């Protein structure tokens, strides 16, 4: 099972000091956070993509390419890549390039984006959001798997004899997750392709997440990719920890109370009761995270949101120390218990390449047996 962090990339004033980081500071902080993630033994760093203030990460592959050069093991991902407003051809090219530079340590998560004006800024219509996701991803999927693509669709200019370059590393497309909080259509899309499904869990009650994941698992099996238990599931989570849980609550409350998205709303206590947010000791984080399995089943990837609401970099790095040293080792051990051997790990470049070689070998053997030259 993979553990990592995902960043929204918001530039938010620290409510305890009133200070707002500069864009440069925030961008450099995201890099420092990614490097720290590798240092403390996490597996994944994912960045959001936004095209409006107060967010900085408009160019994810630039940032991830830089991080790739400064890390060895970390898988670089997104949360999310906008499949609606980006040109799928450019996504295919950018991420294949990143794959080569990062030696395959790349996957990505498709998302639609929920900021209305971004659509018209990129010449798109938000009312077509689902259809854009469907058509664009279908093209992206082909561009990574077919050397020469002839294509015609509704939203993009046609392609004749087009080859997206560079070709994916070793001929293996980056693994794709589809992220959605409330659209069953996206769970269906992930299932159709046998891709991963990520539910960003964090602001929603468990029963909602449960139903989305159940739908995805059932449809994954329906499309013949494996059993429901073998579907590839990722979940979000959000935590703030101090060794003493009262200290965590005291320190996080001023951030929580005015946080973008849910600030000025329910109390910290109500919110932690109704959603997966955990503010407390590492042990409390462990217990709450392990309970995700009760409603999502054995899953493959757990990403935590750690750097938001104006938390200073120093605090975030301390959080990552706690996460890497005290929480994730226990989670790895506990999640492994009772996990059926048939439940796969999250696909990586290496596993996808091995799978491809395996299939190739099988095909070759079958062909030999039939006396056909391949």
Binding residues vs another protein (CB under 8 A): 130-131, 134-135, 138, 152-155, 184-185, 187-189, 191-192, 203-205, 208, 211-212, 214-215, 219, 262-266, 270-271, 274-275
Residue 135 Cβ vs another protein, minimum distance, rounded to whole Å: 5
E-strand ranges in 44-201 read 44-47, 75-78, 81-82, 107-111, 149-151, 159-162, 175-179, 196-199
Residue 181 Cβ vs another protein, minimum distance, rounded to whole Å: 8
Beta-strand pair 175-179/159-162: unpaired
Residue 126 Cβ vs another protein, minimum distance, rounded to whole Å: 16
Counting DSSP H helices and E strands in the chain, the numbers are 14, 12
Residue 38 Cβ vs another protein, minimum distance, rounded to whole Å: 33
Q: Which residue has the tokens 């999250």?
A: 346
Residue 192 Cβ vs another protein, minimum distance, rounded to whole Å: 4
Residue 237 Cβ vs another protein, minimum distance, rounded to whole Å: 17
Contact status, residue 6 vs residue 46, Cβ threshold 8 Å: yes
- Give the tokens for residue 263: 């600030």
Contact status, residue 132 vs residue 140, Cβ threshold 8 Å: no
Rounded to whole angstroms, the Cα distance separating 104 from 187 reads 26
| Residue 109 β-bridge partners | 177
**CB nearer to another protein: pick between 65 and 260:** 260
Concatenating the DSSP letter of every residue in 29-88 gives HHHHHHHHHHHTT--EEEE---SSTTB--S-HHHHHHHHHHT-SSPEEEES-EETTTS-H
**CB nearer to another protein: pick between 274 and 342:** 274
**CB nearer to another protein: pick between 153 and 228:** 153
Q: Which of 26, 87, 88 is nearest to 53 (CA)?
A: 26
Rounded to whole angstroms, the Cα distance separating 321 from 39 reads 9
**CB nearer to another protein: pick between 31 and 215:** 215
**CB nearer to another protein: pick between 203 and 252:** 203
Q: Which of 332, 253, 252, 322 is nearest to 290 (CA)?
A: 332
In this structure, the number of other CB atoms found within 10 A of the CB of residue 331 comes to 18
- Give the tokens for residue 11: 């530039």
Residue 239 Cβ vs another protein, minimum distance, rounded to whole Å: 18
**CB nearer to another protein: pick between 38 and 188:** 188
- Give the tokens for residue 75: 């898988």
Residue 134 Cβ vs another protein, minimum distance, rounded to whole Å: 5
**CB nearer to another protein: pick between 171 and 184:** 184
Beta-strand pair 149-151/159-162: antiparallel
**CB nearer to another protein: pick between 130 and 330:** 130
- Give the tokens for residue 267: 């109390």
């Amino acid at each position: 099972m993979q553990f990592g962090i995902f960043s929204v990339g918001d530039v938010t004033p620290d409510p305890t000091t009133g200070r707002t980081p500069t864009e440069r500071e925030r961008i450099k902080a995201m890099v420092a956070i990614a490097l720290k993630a590798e240092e403390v033994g996490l597996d994944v760093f994912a960045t959001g993509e936004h095209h409006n203030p107060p967010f900085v990460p408009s160019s994810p592959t630039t940032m991830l390419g830089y991080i790739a050069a400064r890390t060895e093991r970390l898988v670089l991902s997104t949360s999310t890549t906008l499949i609606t407003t980006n040109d799928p051809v450019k996504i295919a090219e950018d991420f294949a390039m990143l794959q080569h530079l990062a030696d395959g340590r790349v996957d990505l998560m498709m998302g639609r984006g929920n900021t209305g004006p971004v659509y018209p800024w990129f010449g798109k219509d938000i009312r077509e959001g689902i259809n854009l996701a469907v058509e664009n991803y279908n093209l992206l999927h082909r561009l990574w798997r077919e050397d020469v693509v002839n294509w015609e669709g509704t939203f993009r200019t046609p392609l004749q004899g087009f080859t997206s370059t560079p070709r994916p590393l070793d001929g293996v497309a980056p693994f794709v997750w589809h992220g959605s909080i409330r659209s069953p259509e996206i769970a269906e899309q992930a299932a159709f392709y046998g891709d991963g499904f990520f539910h960003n869990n964090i602001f929603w009650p468990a029963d909602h997440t449960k139903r989305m994941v159940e739908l995805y698992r059932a449809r994954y099996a329906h499309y013949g990719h494996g059993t429901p238990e073998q579907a590839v599931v990722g979940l979000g989570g959000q935590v703030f920890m101090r060794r003493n849980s009262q200290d965590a609550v005291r320190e996080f409350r001023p951030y929580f109370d005015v946080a973008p998205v849910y600030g000025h709303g329910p109390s910290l206590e109500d919110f932690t009761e109704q959603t997966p947010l955990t503010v407390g000791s590492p042990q409390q984080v462990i217990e709450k995270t392990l309970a995700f399995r009760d409603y999502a089943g054995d899953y493959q990837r757990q990403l935590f949101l750690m750097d938001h609401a104006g938390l200073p970099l120093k605090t975030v790095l301390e959080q990552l120390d706690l996460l890497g040293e005290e929480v994730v080792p226990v989670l790895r051990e506990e999640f492994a218990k009772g996990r059926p051997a048939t439940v796969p790990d999250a696909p990586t470049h290496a596993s996808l390449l091995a799978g491809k070689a395996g299939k190739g070998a099988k095909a070759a053997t079958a062909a030999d047996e039939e006396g056909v030259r391949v």
